[in-house]
Amino acid sequence: MKKVSADDNFYFLFFALLGLLFMSAVMQQLFSGGQKTVLALIIICLAVSIVGVNRKQALYRTWYGFLLSIASISGGLSFLEGYDLSLITLGALLFFLLSHTYTALKQVMLSDNVSRNQIVGSICVYLLLGVSWAIIYLIQIELFPDSFNGIEPKPWMDNLFDAIYFSFITLTTVGYGDISPILPIPRFFVFIESILGGFYLAIMVASLVSSHLSQSR
């Protein structure tokens, strides 16, 4: 069995994120109300992404596992015992995604060579930003139920795909308008995400082109 190396580690993360996005869409459209299944799929998809972390980075692997354990336990208690631990679950997922974003961005930006793995890594960072902001929006809906037009105040797993959809529409600055923020704090995070999305693409393209030119020389 081939060991995970620096030359292919982003592929695990990429396919895990694609699986998460696709399965959340499937659950939203075909299996409305399957909250337990949604949570299980989130944990499985994100657990797969940990496989891509080099085994030498034991601290990162332990940290990711710890955060996923918190999300699993708090989510399970919410279902089995009836406790409202949504904020704890969402907080653990957010820290997990932000940690992954930091390590992925650091590896992509510090690489001297333009490789397929680096390109896939830059795409992963973009996807991680979108999913992270979706979790931020879900936290805001938990705190302020009337934060958005177009997203009803329901259990966060029922709103997961709507939040992801709105996040990527904002990140890409498309802005269809079917979902829009109402309160000032959600509006703040919305325009920060749109600015971040534009700057990320510009900086990442410039970085890849610069690395490619240096590599050619």
Cα separations in angstroms, 109 against 77, 99, 119, 166, 207 = 39, 15, 11, 27, 7
**Percent of the chain, pLDDT > 70?**
81
pLDDT of residue 105: 85
DSSP letters, 184-196, are: HHHHHHHHHHHHH
Judge whether 25 lies within some domain: yes
pLDDT band at 50; cut points 50, 70, 90: confident
Residue 4, phi then psi, degrees to nearest 5: -70, 130
pLDDT of residue 34: 65
DSSP letters, 71-100, are: HHHHHHHHHHT----HHHHHHHHHHHHHHH
32-57: average pLDDT: 71
52-64: average pLDDT: 69
The burial class, CB within 10 Å (0-12 / 13-18 / 19+), for 164 is buried
The burial class, CB within 10 Å (0-12 / 13-18 / 19+), for 51 is middle
92-108: average pLDDT: 86
Please enumerate in sequence order all residues whose Cβ is within 8 A of that of 74, keeping only pairs 6 or more positions apart, or say none: 85, 88, 89, 92
pLDDT of residue 139: 94
Supply the angle between the helices 116-143 and 160-171 in degrees, to the nearest 10.
120
Among candidates 18, 99, 118, 16, which has minimal Cα distance to 60?
A: 99
pLDDT band at 148; cut points 50, 70, 90: very high
Judge whether 62 lies within some domain: yes
pLDDT of residue 217: 60
Judge whether 1 lies within some domain: no
26-50: average pLDDT: 76
Domain, as residue range, for 180: 9-216
113-129: average pLDDT: 84
Judge whether 2 lies within some domain: no
What's the structural domain count of the chain? 1
Judge whether 149 lies within some domain: yes
pLDDT of residue 83: 67
- pLDDT, tens digit (0-9, with 9 covering 90-100), for 154-203: 888 888 889 999 999 999 888 788 899 999 999 999 999 999 988 888 88
Judge whether 3 lies within some domain: no
